[in-house]
């Protein structure tokens, strides 16, 4: 009994924070929750509207397959950059972050040309809601990805200035979380749009 008390005492002696998470990281997760809610509501609106009939069915642009591959690869390079950052290999971090950023930009350009493909097959933003939804979902995701690229640029600059050291990777980790999240979000949207036509 007394042993147990001593052990308890030792636990409370540590001046510990109630939760060990960095408040900024926690804030990022809350922000991601709001993004999830935006897309969850839009895709549920899609399902509800689709159930009412008068729904135009069409092929998604073939470019979307390529952009999906690009975003998956960018997530892999992002993660590799992180592994190198933990080992303080600045050169590799720079290279991999650059590749990640370029893949992100390539994704955005690919999405835009995907829209061009849609337009050329006479699928317009203004038309049946099924057509409008594709533009809204991919456009809103693209907008978020732009912010992801900006975040990446901030981290890249930090790395270029030599301020990215293995002991202080919180910002990098947040950027990585956001990037993986946006990649996953696109895969969800793409799968959703392909399956629920």
Q: Which residues are near other proteins by CB under 8 A?
A: 5, 8-15, 17-19, 21, 23-24, 26-27, 30-31, 33-35, 37-38, 41-42, 45, 48-49, 52, 54-55, 125-129, 132, 136, 140
Smallest separation, CB 36 to other proteins (Å):
8
Q: How far is the CB of 132 from other proteins (least distance, A)?
A: 4
19 or 62: CB nearest other proteins: 19
Rg (the chain; Cα; Å):
22
Smallest gap from residue 31 Cβ to other proteins (A): 6
Closest to other proteins by CB, 54 or 91: 54
Q: Which is nearer to other proteins, 10 or 195 (CB)?
A: 10
**Cβ 181 to other proteins, closest distance in Å?**
15
* CB nearer other proteins, residue 143 or residue 191: 143
Answer yes or no: are the C-beta atoms of 192 and 64 closer than 8 Å: no
Q: What is the three-class DSSP state of 140?
A: helix
Q: Which residues of 121-154 are buried (b: 16+ CB within 10 A; e: fewer)?
A: eebeeeeebbbebbbebbebbbebbeebbebbee
Q: In the numeric block, which tokens belong to residue 197?
A: 């036509």
Contacts 24+ apart (CB under 8 A), 83-87: 85/159, 85/164, 85/166, 85/169, 85/172, 86/166, 86/169, 87/166
Q: How far is the CB of 2 from other proteins (least distance, A)?
A: 10
Q: Which is nearer to other proteins, 8 or 166 (CB)?
A: 8
């Amino acid at each position: 009994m007394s042993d147990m008390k001593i052990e308890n005492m030792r636990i409370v002696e540590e001046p510990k924070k109630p939760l060990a998470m960095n408040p900024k990281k926690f804030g990022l997760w809350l922000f991601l929750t709001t993004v999830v809610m935006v897309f969850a509501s839009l895709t549920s609106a899609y399902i509800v509207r689709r159930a009412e009939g008068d729904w135009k069915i069409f092929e998604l642009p073939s470019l979307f397959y390529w952009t999906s591959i690009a975003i998956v690869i960018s997530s892999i390079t992002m993660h590799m950059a992180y592994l190198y950052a933990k080992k303080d290999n600045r050169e590799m971090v720079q290279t991999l972050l650059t590749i990640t950023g370029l893949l992100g930009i390539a994704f955005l350009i690919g999405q835009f040309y995907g829209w061009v493909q849609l337009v050329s097959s006479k699928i317009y933003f203004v038309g049946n809601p099924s057509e409008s939804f594709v533009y809204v979902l991919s456009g809103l995701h693209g907008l978020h990805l732009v912010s992801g690229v900006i975040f990446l640029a901030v981290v890249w600059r930090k790395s270029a200035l030599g301020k990215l050291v293995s002991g202080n990777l919180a910002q990098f980790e947040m950027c990585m979380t956001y990037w993986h999240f946006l990649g996953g979000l696109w895969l969800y949207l793409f799968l959703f749009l392909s399956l629920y036509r």
